[in-house]
């Protein structure tokens, strides 16, 4: 049986990918040691998720190791060797704020961990497809130099700009910008994935995602915009809006739509590819717009406050242009808008008994 390795298998993307691949008949080996729980607290833990996968999916096996542990990772890849046809690397440290507090640990997880996985793939499973969950943070704050217009509830790109209709594409420079320490560590990993694809002729791809979400997301204070916002509404906890008048815009992509994109790439892989991946013009919102929708869903006002100082390197406006991926895989498109995703997330938090 063909084997897929999924790192961060208890997280939002990892768990979604694991269930999808098991449904396609692959044997899935999940790697997750609940680093998320240690970084962001027990409510953000992935342990419950991957325990459930172990109990419900006969073709799933779990390995609780650190992706930075070269010997442990090597043992997993050596065990399965050329039976490994796919590696989905969805593990990582995802928070701006946490990275600034512990840059050595952040870089070790995001950059060194990715290098460890790439090298293990090259040594033991060189024909495998390697998919990396990258981020739009590799572009730094370059997007903030775009001509923006302030609207009632959002910032919007000036209509005459070439990025207006479809969003930001892969031509945006990663140089000369403030990235945040998170952006730097993910950028290093992103470049490594590209280089292994081009230099060693490996089938690698970086999916540069913006906000990813879904009902399986354990949003925490430092990470997980929509999920954490809904969680605060359901639990009647305070929510802080940081900078840009709350009008900063993000596109959001449902985890299931991203995993479908992974599958299409796996079926027809390329070498050292880069794809901006997000909800595009189909699914985007400002913080203020999201708050209003969540208040309508919960039928009560949220307790939220505003701080004028934004996070360093944070985007004012980001909508992904996904046409490059669609030009290679024309059947793919985002299927869920913001209202549908927020309704799912809200139902998910309520179901958990909060």
27-79 residue pLDDT tens:
999 999 998 778 777 777 889 898 999 999 999 999 999 999 999 999 999 99
Q: How far apart are CA 300 and CA 236, in angstroms?
A: 9
The average confidence (pLDDT) of the chain is 94
Beta-sheet pairing, 211-213 with 249-254: parallel
The 10s digit of each residue's pLDDT in 246-288 is 999 999 999 999 999 999 999 999 999 999 999 999 999 999 9
The 10s digit of each residue's pLDDT in 82-141 is 999 999 999 999 887 888 899 999 999 999 999 999 999 999 999 999 999 999 999 999
Q: How far apart are CA 146 and CA 311, in angstroms?
A: 18
Q: Which among 131, 263, 127 is positioned nearest to 208, based on CA atoms? A: 131
Question: Does 351 score more than 60 pLDDT?
Answer: yes
- CATH topology (fold) of 3-351: Rossmann fold (3.40.50)
**Tokens describing residue 252:** 């959001």
Question: Does 222 score more than 70 pLDDT?
Answer: no
**Tokens describing residue 54:** 């172990």
């Amino acid at each position: 049986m063909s084997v897929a390795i999924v790192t961060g298998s208890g997280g939002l993307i990892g768990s979604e990918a694991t269930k999808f691949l098991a449904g396609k008949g692959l044997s899935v080996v999940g790697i997750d040691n609940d680093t998320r729980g240690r970084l962001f607290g027990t409510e953000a833990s992935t342990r419950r998720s991957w325990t459930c996968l172990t109990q419900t999916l006969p073709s799933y096996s779990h390995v609780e190791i650190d992706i930075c542990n070269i010997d442990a990772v090597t043992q997993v890849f050596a065990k399965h060797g050329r039976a490994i046809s796919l590696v989905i690397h969805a593990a990582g440290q995802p928070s701006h704020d946490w990275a600034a507090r512990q840059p050595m640990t952040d870089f070790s997880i995001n950059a060194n961990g990715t290098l460890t996985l790439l090298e293990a793939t090259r040594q033991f499973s060189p024909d495998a497809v390697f998919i990396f969950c990258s981020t739009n943070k590799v572009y730094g704050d370059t997007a903030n130099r775009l001509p923006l217009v302030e609207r009632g509830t959002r910032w919007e790109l000036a209509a005459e700009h070439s990025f207006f209709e479809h969003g930001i594409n892969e031509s945006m420079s990663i140089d000369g910008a403030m990235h945040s320490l998170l952006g730097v560590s993910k950028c290093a990993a992103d470049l490594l994935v590209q280089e292994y694809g081009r230099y060693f002729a490996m089938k690698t791809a970086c999916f540069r995602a913006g906000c990813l979400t879904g009902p399986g997301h354990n949003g925490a204070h430092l990470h997980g915009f929509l999920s954490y916002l809904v969680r605060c509404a359901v639990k009647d906890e305070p929510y802080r809006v940081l900078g840009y008048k709350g009008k900063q815009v993000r596109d959001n992509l449902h985890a299931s739509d991203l995993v479908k994109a992974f599958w299409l790439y796996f079926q027809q892989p390329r070498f050292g590819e880069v794809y901006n991946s997000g909800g595009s013009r189909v699914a985007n919102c400002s913080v203020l717009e999201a708050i209003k929708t969540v208040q309508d869903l919960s039928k009560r006002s949220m307790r939220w406050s505003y701080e004028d100082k934004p996070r360093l390197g944070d985007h004012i406006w980001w909508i992904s242009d996904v046409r490059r991926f669609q030009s290679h895989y024309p059947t793919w498109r985002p299927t869920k808008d913001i209202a549908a995703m927020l309704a799912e997330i809200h139902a998910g938090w309520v179901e958990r008994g909060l």
